[in-house]
Chains A and B, each alone.
Chain A
Amino acid sequence: MKLKSQPKKRDLPENTITLINVVFLMLIFFLVVGTVATPLSEHILPAQTKERPIVPPHPNIVEIARDGKIDYRKEPTSLDQLIVILSSELEGNSDTKPVIKLVAHKELDADRLIEILEAMTSGGVQNIRLVTVDNGADE
C-alpha cells in the first residue's frame, strides 16, 4: 500500500506570524502614544510654551484666527453670537465648573484676544482657558 504523503494543507505564508507581531506592536504603540481628538484647524498655530504641564485635547474649542475671526465648532461666529451660544450652553450644563477653551493664532494681536476675553467675562462666561502647544525640546 502506497501511502501518499499527506496532502499539504494550504498554509498561510511563512512570515504571517511575524507580520502579525509587528502590526500588533504598532497598534499598541498608537494606542498608548496617540490621543483621539478632533484636530485644530490648519490655519491656527497656537502660541508655544516651554514648561507648562501637558493637558489632553478638548473637543469644543473656540478658535481665533490670525485676523481675529472667531470659529466655534468649525463655524464662523461673531463675538456677540459666540457669547449667546456659550452662555446658553453653560446654562444647560449641570457640570459644576464647565470650562471654555480658547485657542488663538500666535500672531494674533493681543488686544483682540483681550477684547474677546473681556466681552466673554462680562457676558457671564467664566473659567476661560487659553490653549497653547508645548515646545519643550526646541531651543
Chain B
Amino acid sequence: MHLRKREKRKNIIGLTSLIDVIFLLLLFFMLTSTFTKFTEFDLSAATKGQTDPNATKPVFILAMENGSFDIDGTLVGAEDLEQHVGDLTNKGKKSVILAPKDKMNVQRIVAIMERLQKTDLNSVSLAR
C-alpha cells in the first residue's frame, strides 16, 4: 500500500519568528514616530555694520501692540499690511526690517512674518 499522502504541506518556515520581528518593528515605529508638522522661517538680525552702498534702503516696519503698523513713518492698520508692502515692493523695495515697538511674544512676530513672506519681499530681518 502506498502511503504517499503522509507528507503534509509544511507550514511556511518560521512564521512565528516572522511575526515577532514584524511586531518589534511595529512597536519601534509606533513609539518613535513624530507626527508634528514642522515649518520654518529664515531669521536674520538687522545689525550695524558694513552696508552695501548699492543696496536699496530697507523698509522699516514697527509692529505695535494694538496690531497696527508703522511703515517708514506711515501708520497702517492691521489689515492693510500686505497691500502697503505690495505697493512698496512694486516700487523696488525688496527688504524689510521688522521691529516690535512694544512688548510682544514670538507668536505675534511669527504671524506677522508669515504675512510678510506671502508678499514679494526678498528678506525680512528682525531688530529691536
Contacts and interface: CB of A to CB of B under 8 A. Distances in A.
Nearest to A53: B39
Interface residues of B, number: 47
B104 interface: yes
A26 B41 CA distance: 34
B1 A1 contact: yes
Given A24-B22, A57-B38, A130 B43 contact: yes
Main secondary structure of the interface of A (DSSP, over half): mixed
A8 to B, nearest CB: 9
Contacts of B32: 34, 36
Contact of B39 (A31, A37, A55, A122): A55
Interface of A: 1, 6, 9, 11-12, 16, 19-20, 23-24, 26-27, 30-31, 33-37, 39-40, 46-58, 101-102, 104-111, 113-115, 117-118, 120-122, 127-134, 136
Contact of A23 (B22, B36, B110, B117): B22
A42 B66 CA distance: 31
Given A16-B15, A20-B22, A111-B128, A49 B103 contact: no
A34 B33 contact: yes
A11 B22 CA distance: 20
A110 B104 contact: yes
A110 B114 contact: no
Contacts of B43: 102, 117, 128-130
B26 A27 contact: yes
A101 B42 CA distance: 9
Q: State the 9 A-B residue pairs at the shortest beta-carbon distance, nearest first.
A: A34-B33, A52-B39, A30-B29, A47-B110, A134-B37, A106-B107, A118-B45, A117-B45, A121-B45
Nearest to B105: A107
Nearest to A112: B106
B5 interface: yes
B26 to A, nearest CB: 5
Given A57-B34, A130-B40, A132-B39, 16 more contacts: A16-B15, A20-B18, A27-B26, A30-B29, A35-B33, A36-B29, A106-B107, A107-B106, A107-B107, A108-B105, A111-B128, A118-B128, A127-B42, A128-B43, A131-B38, A132-B40
A115 B107 contact: no
Given A47-B106, A111-B100, A117-B45, A52 B117 contact: yes
